[in-house]
Amino acid sequence: MVVELISVGTEILLGNIVNTNAAYLSERCAELGLSMYYQGVVGDNAERLRDMIETAKSRADIIILGGGLGPTKDDLTKEIAAEAMGFQLVEDEHTKQRIRDYLETRGFEITENNWKQALVPEGGIVVDNENGTAPGIIMEKEGKHVILLPGPPNELKPMFENQIYPYLNALEPGIIYSKTVKVCGVGESKAETMISDLIDAQTNPTIATYAKTGEVHLRVTAKAEDEKEAKKLVKPMVKELKNRFGNHIYTTDTDITLEKSIIDLLKANELTVSTVESCTGGMLSARITDVPGASEVFKSGYVTYSNKSKRKLVGVKKSTLDKHGAVSSNVAKEMANGAAMFTKADVTVSITGIAGPDGGSEEKPVGLVYIACHVCGNTVVKEYHFKGNRSKIREATVSAALILMRECILEHCSNVMFGNH
């Protein structure tokens, strides 16, 4: 079946809010095996909203509208959608009582326009809102399914998860099963090229790629009569992805993050880690220590923002700083080696770079970063050139540091296993 998404709200068009609902709904519909070819955003305007619904009806089986279900006059989604589907609005006592209870228990004054939300399409399905006053609505007619959802994400997402997802799944009965293969150290374009033949030939299961900072997630989804059959369909595809990406895959568990996989790797090999950061200001150590149980392997985290702190805390030589500058492979190496000496950690990672927006030069532009990783006596230094604003450069740097750390640990463990010292 084909689904189309319409997000309603002038504030989205103006850029006042980020449309996170669209990303969420797109992902969940893909998991259901629904095809989405179009999605749109329309402001709080009756004529333009009516046109979008009519267009969507001509090319989709399911239309999901998010937003515009509030109590004010410019909230028009329900009225226009009901008109487009040929439904009359009537007051629903059940919804009216739920609105009254919701507002009174929270000490809010009930105004006359609140009852606008108690009007529902006669013959439609009312979906109770456990987190707000606007109910969801489902209208079915002549093979078309129009679903109205409240705009606030903390209302839309729980409603979709608990009530709309099962409804949509029942339209094409079966079990949806997904497995996520998480890849690091391979760019999105390269990852897609590596599996382009699988994407071109996909039917059931399907493969969807999701780019994260420093990572690519590959979601393999199958639909079958039962979970056992769905897992059977997914298994060979996941095996093929493992063959193609090898050690770049750090997990096939949706709940495992890159930093969690590294903590597990350190624990499994009885290794400890320390960090020393300059331009990232502690962001790397924060991601590591966000993982429950990190205290078993994490020893110390230094933020050596100034040259003085680099010398005093981790022993970087003044001559090295004078000759090569703070942002250099030489300083990154001495930072990592010094942290290893002072903290006695098996693994140390250092970062030094120019996050901007100021401080760059023709020789050393904004986005230049050096990352070093020391593992049991061996140190690797890599040079990176990141693009974007200060925040994006710092975020990309931390992801790159985690990936380098993982690569170096795996290399060390491989050498120990095969006796290559």
Task: Name the residue among 143, 137, 208 with its Cα closest to residue 178.
Answer: 208
Q: Which residues touch 119 (CB under 8 Å, ≥6 apart)? A: 78, 89, 90, 91, 92
Q: Tell me the C-alpha distance between 87 and 78, whole Å.
A: 10
Helix axis angle, 258-268 to 390-418, nearest 10°: 30
- Give SS3 for 284: helix
Q: Which residues touch 235 (CB under 8 Å, ≥6 apart)? A: none
Task: Name the residue among 346, 345, 360, 350 with its Cα closest to residue 329.
Answer: 350
Q: Are 138 and 65 in contact (CB under 8 A)?
A: no
Report the pLDDT value the prediction gives residue 131, as an integer from 0 to 100.
94
Per-residue pLDDT in tens (0 to 9) along the chain, 421 residues: 899 999 999 999 999 999 999 999 998 898 787 889 999 999 999 999 999 999 999 999 999 999 999 999 999 999 999 999 999 999 999 999 999 999 999 999 999 999 999 999 999 999 999 999 999 999 999 999 999 999 999 999 999 999 999 999 899 777 788 899 999 999 999 999 999 999 999 989 989 888 999 999 999 999 888 889 999 999 999 999 999 999 999 999 999 999 999 999 999 999 999 999 999 999 999 999 999 999 999 999 999 999 999 999 999 999 999 999 999 999 999 999 999 999 999 999 999 999 999 999 999 999 999 999 999 999 999 999 999 999 999 999 999 999 999 999 999 999 887 766 5
Q: Are 202 and 220 in contact (CB under 8 A)?
A: no
Report the pLDDT value the prediction gives residue 98, as an integer from 0 to 100.
95
Q: Tell me the C-alpha distance between 351 and 369, whole Å.
A: 7
Report the pLDDT value the prediction gives residue 255, as an integer from 0 to 100.
92
Query: How many CB atoms lie under 10 A from the CB of residue 89?
Result: 16
Report the pLDDT value the prediction gives residue 420, as an integer from 0 to 100.
62
Task: Name the residue among 42, 104, 30, 47 with its Cα closest to residue 67.
Answer: 42
Query: How many CB atoms lie under 10 A from the CB of residue 5?
Result: 23
Q: Which residues touch 181 (CB under 8 Å, ≥6 apart)? A: 217, 218, 219, 220, 238, 241, 242, 245, 249, 252
Q: Are strands 175-184 and 215-224 parallel, antiparallel or unpaired?
A: antiparallel
Is pTM beyond 0.85? Reply is no
Match 């060390």 to its residue by tokens.
Answer: 412
Report the pLDDT value the prediction gives residue 421, as an integer from 0 to 100.
52
Q: Are 346 and 376 in contact (CB under 8 A)?
A: yes
Report the pLDDT value the prediction gives residue 76, as an integer from 0 to 100.
96
